[in-house]
Each structure stands twice: as C-alpha cells, then as structure tokens.
Chains A and B, each alone.
Chain A
C-alpha cells in the first residue's frame, strides 16, 4: 500500500523545550494506527504539526500521491486536503442542532459564495441521516448539540469527521470520559472507519488500544521510541522503562 502521510525529521521547540525531536512517522492508506506515550511525549504537538496548527522548526510533512508539502498550508487548506481532526475535548457547535453540525461538516465546496448559496438537497439530507445512524444519533437529529451527553458529543464529532470524508483521521483520546459500553461503540466506529481511510488514534488507555488491535507507535520525548504490534512494543524494555513501568 502506498504511503499517505510521511513526516520526516520534524523538530519543534517551545521556548527552548524540544517538544518534537527529529520525529519521523509514516502511515499508509486504510491503516489504523495507535500512538501512545506518556504525558509530554509530544502526541498532541505531533497532531498540531500535521494539521497546520503548529509550524515545525525543521523537517518535512509530505501528503498524498502527489507528495505535496503540508507546511505551506493553513489549517483550513490542510483540512480540505482530506485531513480530519478530533480533539480531546468534544468540540461540537453546542448552539446548533445535530443536523446543522453534520450538515456543516458534510464534504462540500467550502468557498464563501458556494456556502452562501448552498441549500441542502434530499441527497444531502439522506447522507446526514445515514451518518447520524452510523454514530447512533438518529433520534437526536433535531436536538441542540449542547444538550447531548458527553459520549453523544464525542460520537457527533466522529460523525462530523466522517461527514468530511477525510483520507486521514486524527483522533485525540476518543475514549476519555466514556462508559465501557460507549468505549466499545467508539472502538467499532474507528475500526470501521479505518477500513476505507487512514486513522491515527492517540490514546492513553492501554485496554482501549488493545481492542483496536493495530500497529502501535510509542512516542517518548518527542521522538519515536518503538513501533510494531502492541505485544511487540510492550515487551520492549525501553518502553517498559519509560512508560509502562511507572
């Protein structure tokens, strides 16, 4: 399978602190990958770099079969390239209905005039309903998103990501604050999504990672410490030392 995203030799420091130190990372199309690491390992900064929120001091971030550099683009341009991001805290538009949230995320022309003239077709409405069904919010479509439970907001956000039809999905601690049943549902959603696109899940919870059953990248002090199957990395003495041992 061809490489979808290639991050190579990336470093970034904040006030002298090296948050990311010569990090290299690759992911293929239709691959599920878990990124784990202790606090401060650079997981979130890594996502910030890929999505254009943070500019690295050095290194390259190359995207897609045309090998375009993401470093010259802003967040919105990168998102339009097909990179979707889910934040740790559920960030949906609380003031608007579930339907409006999904409709806004639906993959459509993002240009001002096109958005101004946009009126949902029946196909668009059907797609929104389909997405809501996928994330289990069919009966919540006309509720204000702010009224949803924590878990429902997480799913709505995942639904919005799916609506964007990204080729790469970056998901930051999706299971945080969820009940065991909600976690299971979330796992299913991510595994299903990874069948057709690349999904990177940043997670603390080893049990959750085990359920994802995928290749794992361990970050430590802004660099890749180990990579491979979960059993492979958890038996790595260095990993045990910096992460699991404590």
Chain B
C-alpha cells in the first residue's frame, strides 16, 4: 500500500529528496556546525521560510483542494506560536528569577518565585497576576498539546457554526477574516492575558540550554524541515485517495457530492480543522526562530499574503504551494529587508520597501488573470503525467 502511494505520487519522492538535499546543504555551509558561509540570521530566515511553506500546504489543502478560501489561517499559526511562546517565556523567566532569588540569604518559597515571574512577565501591562490562560505554562508537555488543541478546537467550533449554516464562497472568506481580526484585536488588549501589543519575546532562547544561537537555530531549522516533510507526506496521502476525490468534488460541485450521499459539512470541517492544526504546528516552529510574537502577526493581511503565495505558486498542487511560499516570502524578505538597492531616478527614488507591495499585488493580479495555475503550472509543460 505504501509503495503504491509513493509510486502513484512520484512528486512526493522528488519533493522529499529536494528537501533533504537542501537541509544537508544548509547544514554543511551554515555557521555553527558547518563551514560558516551562511550566517545564523539567514539560517533562521530559511527555517522560518520552511514553516511558511508548511502553512502554505495547509492553505492549499483548504483552498486549492477543498475550495474554501480561508483568510484566517494565520490566526491558527499565531495561536500555535503563542502556545509554545508561553512556555518558553515562563520557563526562561523562572530560571532567571530563581537564580536572582537564590542570591538572597533565605531560599525563596515557591509562591515568591511565581510572584516574581509574574512581575517580570506582566510588568509591562501593569500587572503581576498570572491570567488563567497561563495555568499550564509551566509544563512543556501540556503547552505542546495546547499548540494543536487550542487552534484545533477554535477551528472546529468556528467551522461547525459556519459550515452547518452552509455559508460558502466569499461570505465564508469574510467570516474567516473577521475571526482573525477579532482575535488580533482581542489580543491587543492589555488584559487579554498575553501581554497585549507587547506580545511574547525572547523566544529564541531555549530555557536551560547553553548552546549558542548558531546551534539552536540549526536545531529549529532541522525541526522545521522535518515538519515540512511530514506535513507534505500527510497532505499528499490525504489527497491521494478517495478523500481527495471527495474534497475536490466539493470544490467543484458541492451539491453533487451531497447527492452522492457524502456529508459535505463534515468533510469541510475535517479539512478546516486539520489544516488549522498544521498551521498551528508551523507557527509553533516559526516564532521561536523569529524570537517575538505579537498580535500584529494575526492581522488579516497576513492571511491574505498566504492566499497570494498559494495562488502565485499554483493552487491545487502541493509543491505549487511550497514554491509560492518559499519564493515570494524569500523575495519579500530581500526587498523589505533593505538589501535591495534603491534606484535613484533623479526626480524620484524607487524605494523597494514601498514598491515591493505594489509589485506583489500586481503579480498576483497578473498570475490570476493569465496563469491561473501559477508557477507550479510550468511543470505541466514537462512531458510527464504526475500531479499531486
């Protein structure tokens, strides 16, 4: 069975080989374990890019395959980041605070330690009490479970309400957008319990780990590559069989699938929840590499970018989503990171930081109009018949 799955989807094998080769090359040339040609900051950028590719796969599943244009998947990505960030921040603060208190004459009580952690973390929002959402923050295992559980349950409840009422098309897109906006606005509040617009910071430091950032960033890079590989295989397996037929059927003619006897709403809910969980895992790997997460990350525009990546890469094929996310987000980093030289025209200077958005928007329009299959569509020109 396994053999036939790979045999039927040669692109999975090709993708995994390329990913493995890429990971190996980065490892060999990176600062830290390797030759030192790739600086740590760029290793982090590449690791983050792999996470973005993973959420792009989730987006492709829900949009490209099932036809639901969700403009809210970055909310799940952000929530995943917050869940792991809570433990990272709590545990690191606990270690620092314990050290500081241990300098005193009397060993601190547990309550004193917790108090001190609270003051450290929530001082910026004028509080020192632990909000109830932090009740599991001292346990890595529980927070790791919450990475999947919180976004998963949110997606399940939201999806159940939306799909049950048969909200479809652009109305559903608007609903998902409203969801992510509402969540972001809520988290911006100081009393939301997640430090308002300060967000969580210092996430790049693993508590209790002495290794330098050059090594830690490598670990996260490997973890991201592994997650992307597993996510790709999972997605390819999900769409390869009859389940894939049914969700593509839902995309193309929902009513017809219903008359075949398939519970369409349940299928949509399953894909929506699954992709929310994948997005959350991607986020949980992304933010420790970014170092900081704040509610601005969940702004609706982030989820729109996600749709743009998938559209440019080519929706309805998994490698298209990966190509789109990798290509556009890397180019975007280059243009907005100040590396691209500005072009002085005498009367006007083209600043790429400003103009990149225009180019991106324009290319989205052009791709949608003239190349609906996106960059991935180029592979159709090759004399082969595999499509995943």
Report A's interface with B, CB cutoff 8 A.
51, 53, 74-77, 79-80, 84-85, 87, 91, 93-96, 100, 103-105, 110-112, 115-116, 118-120, 160, 164
A164 and B261: CB pair below 8 A? yes
Tell me which residues across on chain B come within 8 A of A103, comparing CB atoms.
242, 245
B267 and A164: CB pair below 8 A? no
Contact with A along B241-256 (1 / 0, CB 8 A): 1110110110011011
A79 and B258: CB pair below 8 A? yes
Across the interface, A79 reaches (CB within 8 A) one of B241, B261, B267, namely B261
A94 to B267, CA, bound (A): 20
From residue B265, how far is it (CB to closest CB) to chain A in Å?
9
Report B's interface with A, CB cutoff 8 A.
1, 238, 241-243, 245-246, 248-249, 252-253, 255-256, 258-264, 266-267, 270
Tell me which residues across on chain A come within 8 A of B263, comparing CB atoms.
76, 110-112
A164 to B246, CA, bound (A): 14
A80 and B261: CB pair below 8 A? yes
- Nearest-neighbor residue (CB-CB) of A166 within chain B: B261
A119 and B245: CB pair below 8 A? no
Interface SS, B side: helix
A95 and B248: CB pair below 8 A? yes
A199 to B333, CA, bound (A): 62
B259 and A79: CB pair below 8 A? yes
From residue A163, how far is it (CB to closest CB) to chain B in Å?
9
- Nearest-neighbor residue (CB-CB) of A80 within chain B: B261
Tell me which residues across on chain A come within 8 A of B248, comparing CB atoms.
93, 95-96
A87 to B252, CA, bound (A): 15
From residue B99, how far is it (CB to closest CB) to chain A in Å?
50
A104 and B242: CB pair below 8 A? yes
Since A93-B252, A95-B248, A96-B245 are in contact, a sample of 16 more A-B pairs with Cβ atoms closer than 8 Å, ordered by chain A residue number, is A74-B258, A75-B255, A76-B260, A76-B261, A76-B264, A79-B259, A80-B261, A87-B256, A93-B253, A94-B252, A95-B252, A111-B266, A112-B243, A118-B241, A119-B241, A164-B260
B246 and A115: CB pair below 8 A? yes
Tell me which residues across on chain A come within 8 A of B259, comparing CB atoms.
51, 75-76, 79, 84-85
A115 and B249: CB pair below 8 A? no
A77 to B265, CA, bound (A): 12
Tell me which residues across on chain B come within 8 A of A79, comparing CB atoms.
258-261
Known: A93-B248, A119-B1. A112 touches B241 (CB 8 A): no
From residue A170, how far is it (CB to closest CB) to chain B in Å?
10
